[in-house]
Structure 1
């Protein structure tokens, strides 16, 4: 006698009982592993249907097909909208569920053994591990690829043999591996040990992405970037990136940016990064070491970084001030954090309190002329910050949100932070206080997601409150909707930023990721802004060389002006556009994006229509991770 068991629901169905029913079980592209105890494990895309229902659905489908194929136009329209029932991708049936659901029934058992199995990027599939690379291109790609070492992945886990299985912790580790930027997907299988009610074995199944990638960024103006990189050198997760820049309108036309990252040094969970950049904007070299609060059980985190800027027109990439005088300065940063678990009424709702501290120093060697009241943004300073945070986080699993079919982890919960500190400045000193509250809700009834944030912070000197920031933001994405073979999802982001007694030289913009995508102007600046970004994405089943297609349309609105007037009395700008995104989940390549945008109202230093071909990193969720204490940004 043997049993069928779902890897998620883990519900067993006796085979001898199937003969007594009129139901059948379809296994679309499912992995089947038969162990000694004759348990068969299936993916969570198992579909159970009655034979009669299946026949009726097939008859209906073929009836529409016969009618549509009578004319050429309706035939093409039919192919666009309808997909045969047996042709649907298994990812289309992935239901949104809580991350720990698959492991709850094993809660409290002892982990006897942990095994890691890695699949190559081409040919193989987590849904059907019997698949192999068949074409010459696939086999060659697998040979050029650095397969993730099983020992490396095992060391990345925060669980060991002999630990008591905790459903939330196991889901946490599964998510950690899945988020590595050289892994396509990953999941745990829990296998009961034959003859024991106490022990279980774990199998971590991982699908690699091809480790080498390239990216080109080409705009309407002749400004080009070409990048080549590897995100998994030697199969150890080391990253090596090289970017070559070309700017026709700048004195320094050619530039280079390079970086190298070593992951998880001696299983300390510390990553080391080295970077170098020499472009028309800056010349800088830096090194950093970081350890994050990766899982619920991580107690300590911290980091150290130091950089030397030999030439730069900005202090930081997101600073609002672009300086005419080349800056020469050093920047160093050190932080440490400790986490304490808190009790929660919900069994799988994990709450933690964090205590963090940070010291950051900036020393200028070349800068504009400064006095106590002139160019205060360029004063030498040392900032001491402390933070107290409370977070509660859980995750749902779904797909077709920011990616093209791979499993995505949707965080929900809240994060409340209070940061405070002291800044020792060149001509004075002052104190800092900031509050930040974030909340995310996954509405199961409508299967939509809503994220809200409110944050305010600033400095107090002997006279007044200054250099303050206020941020209010709401983001959402809708449930997935179907139209034949197509899948639709809507996205929205509404954000308001206010600067409170900022320095005279400080401004904000609505350029590109700070407001209207593709928009770029040095003339459009202000002290407060309101932006609205709307987007509709259409995921398609079409592929070219394993690259999946998604079409999107967008509308962006930006209002910007002085903080002395009501925001709606500011200047209005907006952009409308559409584009195509292509992505191959087997590659570490960034998502290829072709975008055409129109801007009905433009300043004198910008165009009304802009075409852009670029590679983009897909957005990530605000996952309520706590890091070093920060000043509320003004951007």
Structure 2
């Protein structure tokens, strides 16, 4: 489709050629209007950017989400128009600005451009609605957070001749829908996966991959999955997964509707799976079993949200109630008895929870991503979960409390997140399988030196198990442990870690990939919960590396890392180096899901 026809279709799906001039005039007016305000000027520069500007590292001015829509609060939405920009189109306006190299042209042809009707159906606003600043920003964030979208922004245009009507223009920048992940541990251990996150331009996702490990009895393995989003405009997504490797054989069906925005009233989920010859019940299990496990798992939950009054215009408070059920039934497992291998008892869990949250966002960049707009949540979540467990040899009650809070310091431009969670079971008068979690994260302001940008990250995490089963333990191999660490000798029921990282965003770019350098120091102690955490054995990890990311691609961030681990345990060698695809870390956005037991991991 030509750019002229794109302009035409943007303004009206059936405009004729003689209205082309009006389309051009609209974008001229749009530019003129955008340049009157610093925020909209920045948004205009984001979407209508010339190639030479893409070479710069630009830190965006922070703004509170929804602030730009407040002047239009209460006006009626006349039209909602969606424009989708291909991933490798450098300029949306100037017909002289073409995609620069043949590879990008070919990629645009291979790319599944997001369907405008699909994007429009995902919105929780429509023509004829009264514009609400918070709801508009929520819808904008919803589209921006889709795994195949680089960025999305609403621009409000008053309707000529009316003081009550406005048009909403949603500008969406696609990511190239095809991607692959590769993890090269060594010559004898490799995995690769190919996927498309936006099949047919409607958010369907297909994955297929294989792995090879010559040291295992089953050296070859595969995984395949297919996910469908927003079935029949119901907001329900579903996915089917198959996998077979030396770790396990799995078939799983998952159906889910999330509490996506403040406008979502009902949510729920259903998961059914069959697992064979696995050494774990779940990837985060605190037990590595030597005997193969065969089991079935089922879970279902349903939730309702209630809007509460809030004194803040751009913050919404909600109350949630959820009910959930899960069942775990083994076919192959270690020998069990009332006091033997309790972790492998068949069980059914019935839970209910009540939660209260307040969330608002501000927008920035160069935090976890390399330039795209990031929605940073701040506010709080309090959740109380209770229920009972019907086990093979016993009957227990469960109770847990979680509290999360995030604060954005406007003067220092820093961000702080804290979490406290405590949960456990009551077997008659005995408290057991308790779990205490304390997490703290600090993100510094963005500092500038010439064309470079620097940011520091600090994490302090503490986890202790209270009267856990004898076979249960935690390690330093988890995301809150020491990065790159992999050992089953360093284990216990109490863990304390301090993680420090410096990230340097550079102006360097090659083939569309931006470069960032990082260095880190991780310190962790782990051992028995009968001792002070500082008396347990300490381990260290120090390293540096490069992260490469192309925001136009759905690829994971490519990370090349070299690290040293002084006092490494005997089952783990130092130094370590490798290349892998890394998921971008996510902020906790105080979302509510189905009720569940606190993970001891």
Quick check: TM above 0.5?
A: yes
CA offsets 1:260-292 (integer angstroms, 9 cap, x no match):
100000111100010011010100100010000
| Structure 2: distance between partners of 1:632 and 1:527 | 15
Q: Do the aligned partners of residues 129 and 189 (structure 1) sit closer, same or farther apart at CA in structure 2, a change above 3 Å counting?
A: farther
**Which of 555, 563, 579 is residue 545 of structure 2 equivalent to?**
579
**Which of 396, 418, 425 is residue 391 of structure 2 equivalent to?**
425
**Which of 107, 119, 130 is residue 153 of structure 1 equivalent to?**
119
Q: Do the aligned partners of residues 279 and 476 (structure 1) sit closer, same or farther apart at CA in structure 2, a change above 3 Å counting?
A: same
Q: Is the partner of 1:92 in helix, strand or coil?
A: coil
**Which of 405, 410, 420 is residue 454 of structure 1 equivalent to?**
420
| Structure 2: distance between partners of 1:313 and 1:145 | 39
Q: Do the aligned partners of residues 272 and 38 (structure 1) sit closer, same or farther apart at CA in structure 2, a change above 3 Å counting?
A: closer
**Which of 194, 202, 214 is residue 228 of structure 1 equivalent to?**
194
Note if contact 1:399-1:406 (Cα within 8 Å) is conserved in structure 2. yes
Q: Is the partner of 1:40 in helix, strand or coil?
A: helix
Question: Which residue matches 2:512?
Answer: 546
| Structure 1: distance between partners of 2:422 and 2:28 | 57
Q: Residue 219 of structure 1: CA displacement?
A: 2.1
CA offsets 1:150-182 (integer angstroms, 9 cap, x no match):
000001111111111000000000000000010
Q: Residue 476 of structure 1: CA displacement?
A: 1.1
**Which of 220, 243, 246 is residue 254 of structure 1 equivalent to?**
220
Question: Which residue matches 1:143?
Answer: 109
Note if contact 1:124-1:130 (Cα within 8 Å) is conserved in structure 2. no
**Which of 295, 315, 318 is residue 329 of structure 1 equivalent to?**
295
Q: Do the aligned partners of residues 184 and 295 (structure 1) sit closer, same or farther apart at CA in structure 2, a change above 3 Å counting?
A: same
| Structure 2: distance between partners of 1:397 and 1:129 | 31
Note if contact 1:119-1:125 (Cα within 8 Å) is conserved in structure 2. no
Question: Which residue matches 1:60?
Answer: none
Q: Do the aligned partners of residues 256 and 129 (structure 1) sit closer, same or farther apart at CA in structure 2, a change above 3 Å counting?
A: farther
Structure 2: gaps (5+ residues): 1-23, 43-51
Q: Is the partner of 1:474 in helix, strand or coil?
A: strand
**Which of 15, 40, 44 is residue 39 of structure 2 equivalent to?**
44
Q: Do the aligned partners of residues 626 and 87 (structure 1) sit closer, same or farther apart at CA in structure 2, a change above 3 Å counting?
A: closer
Q: Residue 40 of structure 1: CA displacement?
A: 3.2
**Which of 375, 379, 392 is residue 345 of structure 2 equivalent to?**
379
Q: Residue 123 of structure 1: CA displacement?
A: 2.5
Check if 1:609 corresponds to 2:575.
Answer: yes
What are the within-5 Å matches in structure 2 for residues 352-363 of structure 1?
352-363=318-329
Question: Which residue matches 2:276?
Answer: 310
Shifted more, 401-410 versus 343-352: the winner is 343-352
Q: Do the aligned partners of residues 208 and 344 (structure 1) sit closer, same or farther apart at CA in structure 2, a change above 3 Å counting?
A: same
Q: Is the partner of 1:308 in helix, strand or coil?
A: strand
Q: Is the partner of 1:297 in helix, strand or coil?
A: coil
Q: Residue 597 of structure 1: CA displacement?
A: 0.6
What are the within-5 Å matches in structure 2 for residues 610-625 of structure 1?
610-625=576-591
Note if contact 1:454-1:473 (Cα within 8 Å) is conserved in structure 2. yes
| Structure 2: distance between partners of 1:590 and 1:364 | 35
Check if 1:203 corresponds to 2:169.
Answer: yes
Check if 1:162 corresponds to 2:128.
Answer: yes
**Which of 424, 430, 439 is residue 473 of structure 1 equivalent to?**
439
Question: Which residue matches 1:286?
Answer: 252
| Structure 2: distance between partners of 1:346 and 1:207 | 31
Q: Is the partner of 2:39 in helix, strand or coil?
A: coil
Question: Which residue matches 2:498?
Answer: 532
| Structure 2: distance between partners of 1:533 and 1:37 | 46
Note if contact 1:121-1:208 (Cα within 8 Å) is conserved in structure 2. yes
| Structure 1: distance between partners of 2:93 and 2:435 | 48
Note if contact 1:212-1:587 (Cα within 8 Å) is conserved in structure 2. yes
Check if 1:592 corresponds to 2:585.
Answer: no
Q: Is the partner of 2:79 in helix, strand or coil?
A: strand
Q: Residue 524 of structure 1: CA displacement?
A: 1.1
Note if contact 1:183-1:209 (Cα within 8 Å) is conserved in structure 2. yes
Q: Residue 542 of structure 1: CA displacement?
A: 0.6
Question: Which residue matches 2:6?
Answer: none
Shifted more, 504-513 versus 326-335: the winner is 504-513
Shifted more, 125-134 versus 615-624: the winner is 125-134
| Structure 2: distance between partners of 1:472 and 1:389 | 19
Question: Which residue matches 2:27?
Answer: 34
Q: Is the partner of 2:103 in helix, strand or coil?
A: helix
| Structure 1: distance between partners of 2:371 and 2:92 | 13
Question: Which residue matches 1:366?
Answer: 332
Q: Is the partner of 1:177 in helix, strand or coil?
A: helix
CA offsets 1:338-357 (integer angstroms, 9 cap, x no match):
00001111122100000001
Q: Do the aligned partners of residues 36 and 513 (structure 1) sit closer, same or farther apart at CA in structure 2, a change above 3 Å counting?
A: closer
Note if contact 1:44-1:94 (Cα within 8 Å) is conserved in structure 2. no
Q: Is the partner of 1:219 in helix, strand or coil?
A: strand
Q: Residue 439 of structure 1: CA displacement?
A: 0.1
Size of the aligned set, in residue pairs, is 567
Question: Which residue matches 1:266?
Answer: 232
Q: Is the partner of 1:382 in helix, strand or coil?
A: strand
Q: Is the partner of 1:277 in helix, strand or coil?
A: strand
Q: Residue 35 of structure 1: CA displacement?
A: 6.5
Task: Report the structure number with the largest CA radius of gyration.
Answer: 1
Q: Residue 227 of structure 1: CA displacement?
A: 0.9
CA offsets 1:565-587 (integer angstroms, 9 cap, x no match):
11111010010000000011111
Q: Residue 222 of structure 1: CA displacement?
A: 3.0
Q: Is the partner of 2:491 in helix, strand or coil?
A: coil
Q: Residue 94 of structure 1: CA displacement?
A: 1.5
Note if contact 2:59-2:365 (Cα within 8 Å) is conserved in structure 1. no
| Structure 2: distance between partners of 1:323 and 1:370 | 13
What are the within-5 Å matches in structure 2 for residues 393-542 of structure 1?
393-542=359-508
